[in-house]
Amino acid sequence: MTISDWLIDVALVLVVFRQLREERLTLRTILLPLALIVVRGRVLQTRVGRQGRNALPVTP
């Protein structure tokens, strides 16, 4: 795992701990976790693409 992987994972864990407290649902409380998940997905998606395992599946 790279440093960016660790930072994103720690940020996601902190978001979970932050959501344990009851607070009003705002645009920020919705968008922050979604943005972190999108960033994490893009990081993983580009890493798989670079490692050569990006063959298209064969469909009938």
Q: How far is CA 47 from the centre of its chain?
A: 13
Range(s) of the domain holding residue 7: 3-48
Instruction: Check: CB of residue 32 under 8 Å from CB of residue 15.
Output: yes
* pLDDT computed for residue 58 by the predictor: 63
Backbone φ and ψ for 15, nearest 5 degrees, come out as -65, -40
The answer as to whether 39 is a domain residue is yes
Please state the domain count of the chain: 1
In a domain, 56, yes or no: no
Give residue 52's pLDDT band: very low, low, confident or very high (50, 70, 90).
low
Calpha distance 21→6 (Å, rounded): 24
Give domain status of residue 31, yes or no: yes
**Which position has the higher pLDDT, 60 or 44?**
44
In a domain, 21, yes or no: yes
pTM score of the predicted model = 0.59
Domain assignment present for 30: yes
Q: How much is the pLDDT for 53?
A: 57
Residue 1: the pLDDT is 73
Q: pLDDT band at residue 41, thresholds of 50, 70 and 90?
A: confident
Alpha-carbon distance of 33 to 15, in angstroms, equals 7
The answer to whether residues 36 and 12 touch, using CB atoms and an 8 Å cutoff, is: yes
